Structures are given as structure tokens and as C-alpha cells.
Structure 1
Amino acid sequence: MTFTAPPAHLTRPDLQGTHGTAASTHWLATATAQSVLERDGNAFDAGCAAAFVLHVVEPHLNGPGGDLVGLFATAQAPAAPQVLMGQGPAPAGATIEHYRDHEGLELVPGSGALAAAVPGAVDAWLLLLRDHGTWSVRDVLAYAVGYARDGHPVLPAVAAAVERVADLFGRHWPTSAARWLPHGRPPQAGETITNPEYADLLDALADAADASPGDRAASVDAARDAWRTRVGAAVEPFVRTPHRHSDGRDHAGVITAADVESFRASYEQPTTAQFRGRTVVKPGAWTQGPVLLQSLRILDGFDDDRLDVATELGAHTVLETLKLALADRDVWYGDAEVPLSDLLSEEHAAGRRALIGERASHEVRPGVVPGRTAPPLPPLRTTGPTSSDTGEPTVASSGAVKGDTCHLDVVDRWGNMLSATPSGGWLTSSPTVPGLGFCLGTRLQMTWLDADSPSALTPGVRPRTTLSPTLVLADGVPVLACGTPGGDQQDQWQLPFLLRVLAGGWTPQQAIDAPTLHTTSAVGSFWPRTWVPGGAVVEDRLGADVLAGLAERGHALTLAGDWALGRLTAVTRDPATGVLGAAANPRGQQGYAAGR
């Protein structure tokens, strides 16, 4: 049996060209990247410029106070992919004892400065620019400075996000009220908004780079130093004032200037697995990235008829596979010694594959690793299938506000390729820091106040993140970069996409447009850390017969609507011809691809 036919009519074309292509979750970032490519910048110049624009135009999805995980490969041999690590660690004062005994918490809150890891995204982008870009700091930042100082039309989603937290801002976060309610009301969709404080900060970074007496690398490092100094000096005194957190109480943050000034972004070796003759590349197990690899290892042992989520059998098989991989994540993954060689072995995959039966599992079933004692399961806080749960939650005092993430992919005519997922520092994460124009992130909510967990809150240790870009190699050469926002759903939404492209032979746009699904039958990575036993969130377009069959098998279905799940973007390159491609998600009417 072969895969079902791809969609007959696409929302967007599969773009093709030979000069350069880009795709992101906002058209202005995509246009920025393409503009850089047109001016002979490479993929890394383009990605950096687009990323700073995303800070300005998608502030409900990411910010300078947040984090970043990227994957990239250069056109120069050897083109071995690397991880761009922009995930800051827990501050020195972020101890389990402080949170439990002094603050009276059982979970790290979902909003407020106690949930803030050290900001990592800006330093990571500048590191990439220094080592692999060609443009100056000022030229790369000029696009974001322009949108921040001169203004840009605000997205309907941004206006809606501010409206949902207007009462919180007015009652408890006055600096955020000043930033986002300057006229005493939320901005209206399409209204031009500015961020002059952030524009001033970016100009200061460019000034520091221009004033550096050294070479290009030294000038970028001068901008990095200016970032650390200015942000650290502003953050420490501000977070010492108690403010409202998602538990409904006021707490002071613990992050200091020394925490900010000591962070350095870095490069790491990726983790890989083979699937249908291709090499799939992910960041390590301090992210959830290996969930995708474990899922592919399990599914590689099935015939293609078990991989097609457009069928009842395929959808059931993929959902059950994801539950098993996510259960391993929740027991084994973290910024620690993770037995990845065992978790990605054929023996482990075969054992997990054998657990997939005809009925939906309603249990959390982590795997066994020979010679290792499994850490305890995290607390299982059950909730019902009442929400489509399509983003990364960050919670205000009502417990009802969610944030999410951005993504961008770029490939240039020389063959440089980048896939990056910036996130954190959403405008609803914590109060806006005066003088900076942005707030801190909340990545520490993904840690546990349990010393036995591999994801325990530990000073100087990175929280396990959901940020999870992907590269695909053919014969060792990068041919595809992709990713999506979505928190716990990032690898879940990428899985059907890759199955359709790598096993089904679909084009990227066909795979993006097709209906998809994910499971909520796993411990949530975000406050309040709940799960839905047997939960499956599905797009209605999967069809009545498929949905009825899944329900009959015991899946607790949540219907998300026809076009609700997944916000994938992708770029491609054919090494034989040099032809480049790009595709973007129509859901939400923000993502766009460009190229020529």
C-alpha cells in the first residue's frame, strides 16, 4: 500500500529558485531574509537579520529576553551540521530550596521573573554572525531598528494577546502597561506600533561594534559585550521588586547582572538517526529533539501503510509512537548524562514498537535502559480533553494566557543552510524591563523542583527545552531544513510532515497543507504540567471515518478545526542541480516563504 494522494490544491506554491530562499512564521521576517540574500548576504546574515525582526513583529511569540536553538551547515567542506546553542541556564540563585522553602512553590511558575532563565537568543545570533556571516552588526540590525523605531502594523494575534492580559498589566505589571497600553487600551489590529527602547538598545550594540578597534570578529564581540552589560545592569534591580506570578502571588526574581554577563552562546554536535535512507539531524537531549529521532526509529520498522496519518491505522500508529517517545523524554532527557545511544538503538526501538497495540494507550510508559535505574516519573496531573493545546503556555494570573514560538529557515545559492527556532520572552511572560523594551523569558517552568529528575532546577544548568529545529541530509549533504512553533507539539507536527516527504514522496508544501494531529497523552512541559490520558488533538479534515476509527480505538479526541495544527516552514536544496525550494504554513495567516 502506498501513501494516500497529496492535496490536489495547495494554499501556496512550492517555491523554487537558484539564488536563495527563506521561510518564516512572519512575512516581514521572510522578506527581510530575502532582502539580505538579494544584497549578497549569505544564509547566516539573512537568518540573523530576520531573527531580530521577529523580536519586533512577533513579540507574543519570542523576544530578546528569550532563547534559541538552531541547526546549520556551511557550504564549505566539511559541511557537518552544528547546533547553535542559545539556551541560557538557570541563574545562580535558582535553587530548589529557594523555590520550595522560601517561595512556597511546588512548580516553577509559568509567568514572572522566577521562571526566567538567562537570556540566550541575542548572544547566539551574534555568535553565528561573527563566525559564519559576512555583514556588519549595524547592517544586520538595521531592519529591526527600522521596524522598532519607525513602526510596523501590529498583528491581530498581538493585539488579542495584549487584550487578554490588559487587566493583569493594569493591576500588577505597570511597566508592561506603559509599554503595551500607552493610550490606556490594547493596540488595534493593523495599528502602527513602535518600540523605541529596543531600537535604542540595538543602536547601542551597533555603536559598540563600530567603535571596536579590532577586526570584524572583535567588532561583533564588542556588540555581545555591550548586550550583556546593558541588559544585566537593567534586569537585576528591576526583578528584585516582587510582582505577580502565575500562582497568583507576588515573588521577586533571582536573576542577577552576573548571571547575564557570564553567559556565552556556543556550538554543539547534533544528534542523528537514519530513516528511509536519509539522515535526520536534531539537537541533543537537553532539548526534546531526540523525540523525533526515537519516533522515526520506531516507525522505520513498519511498512508504509503504518506511516500515513491520513488513514486510521497510520494515525493510530503515529499517535502511539509519539506517546512512547515522549514518555522516554519525560524520564530520561535533560541537561545531564542522557543514554541517547541506548534510546536510539534498534533494540530499544524494537521493544517500543512491540508495545503498539490495536487500542490507544492511556498510560505513561517510559522505556528501560540496560544498566541504568530510571528516574521517577514526574507528577501526573490529569486534565480533560478541553483544549486544542496548540502552543507554549505562559500563564498570567487568570491561568488562561498562552504564548508560542517562531521559526525560520534559510538556504542560499552557495549551499549554506539554517533552521532556527527562537522563543521565550513573550510579552506575557513577565513585566517589561524599563530601558530595554522587552521582558524576560519563562523557560525555567520546564524544570522540576525534584532533585532526582534529569530536568531538575539546578543553578547553571539549562532547562530542557521544547525548541527543536531539523535538518535532513542525503549522502551527508543538507537537503532540507524545517521546523515549527508549538511547544510540546514541535516534533509531533514535524513527524507527519517528514513521513509524508521522506516516505510518501510529497513536496514540502503538500505536506504542510495536509491535515495533522498530535497527542496530549504525555506530561506537559509548561505550567501547570498536566496531561490528558489517551488524548489526541486532530484537525477535522482528517475525515469522519478516520476520526470515528480513532475514537473506536480509545483515543480521547479533541477536534481542533480544519486549519489549526502545525505552523511549519521549510527550505530545500537539490545538490545535483542547485535548485532551492521553500514552503510555508497558511494556518494563522502569518507564515510566508520567498525566493528566486
Structure 2
Amino acid sequence: MAASTHYLATGAAASVLERGGNAADAAVAAAFVMHVVEPHLNGPGGDLTALIAPAGEEPYVLAGQGAAPAAATIAHYRGLGLDEVPGAGPLAATAPGSVVAWLHLLATRGTWELRDVLAFARDLARDGHPVHENVVRVIERVTPLFVEHWPTSAAQWLVDGAAPEPQSRVTNAAYAALLNGMIAAGEQSGSREQRIQAAIDHWSRTVGDAVEQFVATPSRHADGGDYAGVLTAADVAAFEPAEEEPVRLAFRGYEVVKPGAWTQGPALLMTLVILDAVADADGDDRRLDPTTALGIHTITEALKLALADRDAWFGDAAGMESRGLSVPLEELLSAHYARERAVLIGETASTEVRPGWPGGREPWLPPVRVAELASDGSAGALAASGEPTIDRRTGAQRGDTCHLDVVDSSGFMISATPSGGWLQSSPTIPALGFCLGTRLQMTWLDEASPSALTPGVRPRSTLSPTLLAQGGRVVEALGTPGGDQQDQWQLLYLLRRIVGGFEPQQAIDAPMFHTDAMVASFAPRTVQPASLTVESRVGDDVIAELRSRGHDVNVVGPWTLGRLSAVGIDPERGWLYAAANSRAAQGYAAGR
């Protein structure tokens, strides 16, 4: 079974599985297709976080997140007159991690030859594919930026100075040539693994040289300034993907598995513990129901508390240890700490950012700046900054991420969230056909922050896939794009699946909501106090009660929020299943 945010990616994965490939082969093929068909949501210059669960083995985290360049110091950025890392432009780039991480997975867990896995993406880039209307909308918004400041992006994405027509054929000859070069680099090598390593070496040399040469020329950044980047060929070559232990939480007969606190993943687990404490105090689960005003209010308030702790405490352990800091994760996930946090949930909406004091430790508090809605109702200007996912007024997608889930006949399961390197994030590098990512914008130019900008250290990421295990066996893989909303929408899915007893497709299709009442992970890094965005299907009476509780309710279209997908195993019936998001008619689940 395969499910993803784009039907062509799901089709590639399903084709690999049909022809005997395993979950790793299928996931890698789908991921490279996503680079081509969802370039506004991810790219080869971006990153990924995945949970890998080979049949009969313990799951692990595949970390495809690049680190800050060696020259990316707080002093350098402050010296440029910056108070924050810009949301767009080469200064926000980490070393690209996505491609090397996927090829590492193919080498270590796959069975197919590199040329066969990459053929799907190579052919789509070379011969073209129908460009989705969502891609076109993003290009339309950034056309003035391309024309005035990013001519290489204009050359790649504009047709006669304008965005392409929806469903017209678009190609990417430069990226197709790079994929062909990677395939050719390994043809003379001995083993399958050696051929893949030769492709990685070709990627690192080619991309590193092109990046270092390109970013040396100053280009426009999201703050309006023109700066040279600091990423070098040495930074690109130094990247190595990591295999790490996940974080696990027992919840209502399941084990919820998430990546570590260098992502926002444990915030979902913290929210579950808080909600369990609420249910224990009440003696029932009525406050855990995402269909009622009481449930939506309680869940939203619990999310605010967990996300405030995310910003106060989460970061890459390597960078924190060098500054005498650590993530108090055991305390943050403890039942007694959850009870302390749960009592802060009142009957009305909080308008504060309230990190806790685990073990009596004082939290670091990021700058809390209230967002001012622009005239069109959106928080801040899109330009090319950040990863704006949902327009506050219309609910329209304005940028984002991808997701894919795969399970093969052996039960080998993968949940992966690729992102970064969006076409609107940085100027296109002509020799490569893609641009750099902007994950460094999630760091702070403050050494006291757990996610301070530090050379050689990963920024804290929003990418946060999920696995569910039962009886010591992984039974489901799921996830969604969405920046700060990723774990919010997954929380609703889990509550509906585990507490409410929903089937996977029911849980995905049910009305979604989220809050922006936290410090945004992406530029502009502001807070929208008491904000609550809901799909209109939650109902007029529910919306009225939420407003009476003090929530600043923003009602969007009935099928607007969330892009969840899932695959899994039904141990009792011996069935495999898959489900995908029906919103926007782009996600797809397939299998047999």
C-alpha cells in the first residue's frame, strides 16, 4: 500500500511494489517524483524526516536534515544588521539533506537498482508533467519577485514572463540531467551499494560546486536586503544522514512513535499526556472529542501549552550540549508534569504563551510579537518568506511540505515528511534546476535559545511523521504537511482513531482545526493570540460556543485543512490498508 500528497508519487510507489520492490524502493521512487511534481512544497535542496520500520525490527528515525554551514555564526548574521535569519534566500540554507538521506535508505534497506528507482522522476523532469494549479498559484504570487530580483527562477518557472497555465506541461531539464549524471556515475561500480555511493559522491561534488559558486553573488532575501550566502562545497560534502532512536509514548493501548526533540514531534506526545490528565480528572473522555465545542476548546488549549514548551525547550542535542543545555524530555512527558499543565486549561481561551518549568528549570522564552493581519486577512506578506501554509482569511494553501507512507507485503513500513527547497524559498541554481532550502530560519540569533544558530548543528524542525505500534509491532504509518500544524492535525487523527474508534479514511475526512497561538516556526515569527482556524463543517453552534469562550475563530472552507495520509496493517484480519486526503483532489492512496 502507498499513500501520499500527490497521485503521481503514489503511482510511482505502487508501481515499484507491484514489480517486487520493497517499501524502501517504493518510498525513494515516490520521494524523487515529489521533487519534480510538488516543487512548491519540497525540492532536492531541502530536507526530510522519516520513521523507518522494517518488518520484525525496531523502528528508527532517518534524519535527512542538514546542519548550519561552518560560516553560519550569530556574529556574521548580526554583523549584516539582521535580528533574525531571513525567511527566504541563501542565508537561510542548511546543507541539502533530502537526496543523500533517500539514497542512504535505498542502499541500506532497498533492493532495486538506482537507475530503476530514479527513472520515474528523471522521465517526469525530462519529458514533462501537468503542472498542478496549486503550483501555479504559488508561482503567480512570487512572479514579481522572480522578475525583479531572481532572474534564474524566472527563467525556470515563468512562461513569457508569467506563470504557466494549470495542467500545462512543465519540464526541468537541468534536474533531469543531474539525475542522469548520478545514474551514470555508478554504472561502472561493482555492487548495487557501490553504485548508489558513486551517485551520492557525484551529487555532492556537482551540487557543492554549483552552490558555492552561485551563493557567492548577493541575492535578494525576505527582509529586502541583498546578501551573499555562506554555504560551501565543503558543507555540502560534510552532510551525512543519521539513524536515531525515536521517542515513544504509551497511549490507550498503542505506542505512539515520533522523531526526537530536534523536531517538534514530542510536542504531540506531550499534548496526549496533558489530555490524558484532563480525562483522568473528569473521569471520562468528553473533553477529548474533536467534534464538540468543549473538546475543540480543550484540545486547542492543550496544544498551546505543548507548543509553548516546544519553543522553550526543543533543539538539537549536539548544539545544546556545547552550551551546557539539554532537553528535559523525560520530565516534559511525565504524568505529574502533565497534571501541572492540565490545570492551566480554563473555560476560556488563553491569550498567553506559557512554557512550563520542568524540574524547576526556567524556560527560555522566544520573542513574543503579535501578528498584524494584512489587508487581505493573511498574517504578514507571503513574498517568499517562511513556510506559510494556510491563509488566515480563506484557508487557501500558500506553501507547505509533502508526505508519503508506504507498507509492503512483509509489513515493512515507512512514514516520511520531505520538505524545504521550495521554488519560492531561494533563487534557482541554473546548473541544478532547483534552489536551496531555508530551514535555518527556524534558529534564533540568541545563544540562550535551545535552537540557537550554531555552525554544524541542525535547526529544530517542524517535520514530524508518526508510527503507531501495538503489541510490539508497528501497525500504522501516518503524517501530514503543515508546518506548525503538522502535529495538530495528526493529534486530531489519533484522537479519532484511538479514542473515537474511527477508520483511517473517516479520521482523515473529519473536520479539522488548528491554532496559530504560538510563536511561528517560520517567518514572520509572530503569535496570533487566541487564534483558532476551523473548517465550516464543525457547525454553526460549535463555532458560536467557541467564540463565546474567547477564541478568535476563523472559519474556512468545509474541505480545507490538513493533508493527512496513512497506511497500516490490521493484525486481526491480516489486511493492509491505506487512506489519503481528499481535500484539493491531489492526494492518493493505492495498493492491492
TM-score, normalised by the number of residues in structure 1 = 0.93
Tell me the equivalent position of 1:445.
441
2:22 aligned partner, one-letter code: N
* CA pair 542-489 structure 1, distance change in 2 beyond 3 A: same
1:546 aligned partner, one-letter code: V
Tell me the equivalent position of 1:224.
200
In 2, Cα distance between equivalents of 1:385 and 1:429: 22
Question: What is the aligned counterpart of 2:118 among 141, 163, 184?
Answer: 141
| Matched position secondary structure for 1:374 | coil
| Matched position secondary structure for 2:116 | helix
Cα pair 1:388 1:558 within 8 Å, conserved: no
Tell me the equivalent position of 1:252.
228
Give the stretch that moved more between structures: 161-170 or 56-65.
161-170
* CA pair 51-394 structure 1, distance change in 2 beyond 3 A: farther
Question: What is the aligned counterpart of 1:36 among 9, 16, 31?
Answer: 16
Give the stretch that moved more between structures: 383-392 or 162-171.
383-392
Tell me the equivalent position of 1:164.
141
Question: What is the aligned counterpart of 2:465 among 449, 469, 487?
Answer: 469
Tell me the equivalent position of 2:308.
327
Q: Is 1:381 matched with 2:369?
A: yes
In 1, Cα distance between equivalents of 2:435 and 2:423: 6
Give the CA deviation at 1:181.
Answer: 1.6
1:321-374 deviation digits (Å, cap 9, x = unpaired):
000000000100011321111101111111111111111111011111115332
1:27 aligned partner, one-letter code: Y
Tell me the equivalent position of 1:204.
181
2:268 aligned partner, one-letter code: L
1:298 aligned partner, one-letter code: I
Give the stretch that moved more between structures: 387-396 or 317-326.
387-396
Tell me the equivalent position of 1:12.
none
Which ranges of structure 2 fall in alignment gaps of 5 or more residues?
318-325, 392-396
Question: What is the aligned counterpart of 2:3 among 23, 38, 51?
Answer: 23
Tell me the equivalent position of 1:554.
550
In 1, Cα distance between equivalents of 2:487 and 2:256: 12
* CA pair 331-547 structure 1, distance change in 2 beyond 3 A: same
In 1, Cα distance between equivalents of 2:471 and 2:383: 41
Cα pair 1:24 1:592 within 8 Å, conserved: yes
Deviation beyond 6 Å, 4+ runs, structure 1: 385-394
Alignment of 1:83-482 (within 5 A): 83-101=61-79, 103-213=80-190, 215-301=191-277, 302=279, 303-336=284-317, 337-370=326-359, 372-375=361-364, 377-384=365-372, 395=384, 402-482=398-478
Q: Is 1:508 matched with 2:487?
A: no
In 2, Cα distance between equivalents of 1:383 and 1:583: 35
* CA pair 390-107 structure 1, distance change in 2 beyond 3 A: closer
* CA pair 484-388 structure 1, distance change in 2 beyond 3 A: farther
Tell me the equivalent position of 1:14.
none
Tell me the equivalent position of 2:51.
71
In 2, Cα distance between equivalents of 1:391 and 1:574: 45
Cα pair 1:447 1:464 within 8 Å, conserved: yes
In 2, Cα distance between equivalents of 1:342 and 1:439: 40
Give the CA deviation at 1:389.
Answer: 7.2
Give the CA deviation at 1:290.
Answer: 0.5
Give the CA deviation at 1:575.
Answer: 2.7
Give the CA deviation at 1:534.
Answer: 1.0
1:177-220 deviation digits (Å, cap 9, x = unpaired):
1111243321110101111110110111111122223x222221
In 2, Cα distance between equivalents of 1:165 and 1:326: 30
Tell me the equivalent position of 1:15.
none
In 2, Cα distance between equivalents of 1:409 and 1:591: 12
In 2, Cα distance between equivalents of 1:402 and 1:50: 23
2:156 aligned partner, one-letter code: R
2:61 aligned partner, one-letter code: V
Question: What is the aligned counterpart of 1:588 among 577, 584, 588?
Answer: 584
Cα pair 1:425 1:439 within 8 Å, conserved: yes
Give the CA deviation at 1:528.
Answer: 1.1
Cα pair 2:372 2:379 within 8 Å, conserved: no
| Matched position secondary structure for 2:410 | coil
Give the CA deviation at 1:577.
Answer: 3.6
| Matched position secondary structure for 1:381 | coil
* CA pair 567-391 structure 1, distance change in 2 beyond 3 A: farther
| Matched position secondary structure for 1:530 | coil
Count of matched residue pairs: 570
| Matched position secondary structure for 1:72 | strand
1:100-121 deviation digits (Å, cap 9, x = unpaired):
12x1111111110001111000
| Matched position secondary structure for 1:403 | coil
1:422-444 deviation digits (Å, cap 9, x = unpaired):
00000001000121000001101
1:279-318 deviation digits (Å, cap 9, x = unpaired):
0000000000001100111112313211111101100110
| Matched position secondary structure for 1:130 | helix
In 2, Cα distance between equivalents of 1:416 and 1:574: 14
Which ranges of structure 1 fall in alignment gaps of 5 or more residues?
1-20
* CA pair 349-390 structure 1, distance change in 2 beyond 3 A: farther
Q: Is 1:490 matched with 2:486?
A: yes
Alignment of 1:6-21 (within 5 A): 21=1
Tell me the equivalent position of 1:6.
none
Cα pair 2:373 2:379 within 8 Å, conserved: no
Cα pair 1:107 1:528 within 8 Å, conserved: no
| Matched position secondary structure for 1:382 | coil
In 1, Cα distance between equivalents of 2:545 and 2:251: 28
Give the stretch that moved more between structures: 551-560 or 137-146.
551-560
* CA pair 413-391 structure 1, distance change in 2 beyond 3 A: farther
